[in-house]
Amino acid sequence: MDGLILVDKPQNLTSHDIVARIRELLKVRRAGHFGTLDPLATGLMIVAMGKATRLFPFFSKADKSYRGVMRLGFSTETYDSTGKPTSREIKSYPSKSSVWKAMKKFEGALEQVPPPYSAKKYKGRPLYSLARGKKEFELRPTRVSIHFLHLKRYNPPFVEFEVRCSSGTYIRSLAHDLGQILGCGAHLSALSRTAVANFHLQDCLTLQEIKKLAEAKKIEKFLLPLESLLPEFPKMILDERGSRLARNGSLILAENVLKIAPTYLSLSTDSSQLEIIFRMFSQEGKFLALAKKTPEKNCFHPFLVIDSG
């Protein structure tokens, strides 16, 4: 079973729990997820099956969108509602315009410090294990991009928001840092991931829905096939010799290429920034490899083999 499953993650399950449930439901071993969600968070989780797990580098770097709620008044050790308060509660809340102006300061590129309780690693160990063990460590900032951070509703002490950001952004840190700027403290109280790249929450299925479809042998209703993935890259169809070479990761000459279909570019894709990568297919429609052109040799180099035969 090769492809992606878009899962609507419920609250209080870890990302590892979701993958384990999918493995159990479908009786498969090879599965993984393309981006962690905290147990508190809900929403879109991409679970890769079989050969699709090799595409992790492409999906892990994709932009993400969230809807959520921040609570003003005090900060917590985990930067969300699961942690102990680290400041006294303040009930004199800022005005809506003050919150809006503070949120706008985060838009664009910024250096963000991850939460002390997170999966981010320090000297090979996740921060949460160091924090729980009361070990001292240095929180180093990471450069991230906030494409937009919109105030959707303000009902003090709750701030409803929507954000689109680069991979690696911690929304818990956004909430915590907003509280620091406003001077009243804040933490994340609810979060839902609504999009990853061109995948959206409305296309997801619950674990129960996936179970019912699997039992009814309707796998095509929840599995996005391998051949449909990464449509932003041109599709290259190879002859029989080219297909054998691709499966071995060997250089492929132009004479082994039967056809190159035009790329699909969504409205959100910046073609000037898009690296020229080709999806290599056999004449039978098998997704074989991802390749780059080597102009000096007038050939193509498969740098990631998907189907080795």
Instruction: Confirm whether 177 is a catalytic residue.
Output: no
Co-location of 71 and 158 in the same domain: yes
Shared domain check, 192 and 70: yes
d(CA 121, CA 128): 9
Confidence at residue 114, expressed as pLDDT on a 0 to 100 scale: 86
Last residue within a domain, chosen from 196, 218, 245:
196
DSSP annotation of 215: H
Same domain? For 16 and 164 the reply is: no
Mark whether 212 and 261 lie in a shared domain.
no
Q: Are residues 253 and 192 in the same domain?
A: no
**Number of domains into which the chain is organized:** 3
Q: Which of 2, 8, 17, 38 is catalytic?
A: 38
- Look-up: residue for tokens 């929507």? 162
In this prediction, the residues of the chain whose per-residue pLDDT falls under 50 are 130-131, 264-274
What is the domain range of residue 283?
230-305
Same domain, yes or no: 178 and 279:
no
Q: What CATH number did the domain enclosing 121 receive? A: 3.30.2350.10
Whether 156 and 259 share a structural domain:
no
Q: Which CATH number do you get for residue 241? A: 2.30.130.10
Q: Are 181 and 105 in contact (CB under 8 A)?
A: yes
Do residues 149 and 106 touch, judged by C-beta distance below 8 A?
Answer: yes
Q: Is 146:107 a contact under the CB 8 Å cutoff?
A: yes
For the chain, what is the largest distance between any 2 Cα atoms, rounded to a whole number of angstroms? 72
Q: Are residues 68 and 188 in the same domain?
A: yes
276 and 301 share one domain: yes
C-alpha distances (whole Å) from 250 to each of 55, 233, 278, 305 are 19, 20, 15, 10
pLDDT at residue 116 in the model: 80
pLDDT value at residue 131: 47
Report DSSP letters for 156-172, one per residue.
TTEEEEEEEE-TT--HH
Residues 192 and 204 in one domain: no
Residue 179 has a pLDDT of: 96
68 and 191 together in one domain: yes
pLDDT tens track for 204-257: 999 999 999 999 999 999 999 999 999 889 999 999 999 999 999 999 998 999
Asked if residue 68 and residue 192 are part of one domain, the reply reads yes
Give CB contacts under 8 A, 24+ apart, made by 96-105.
96/151, 96/154, 98/182, 99/72, 99/151, 99/154, 99/159, 99/178, 99/182, 100/151, 102/178, 102/181, 102/182, 103/149, 103/150, 103/151, 103/161, 103/178, 104/149, 105/181
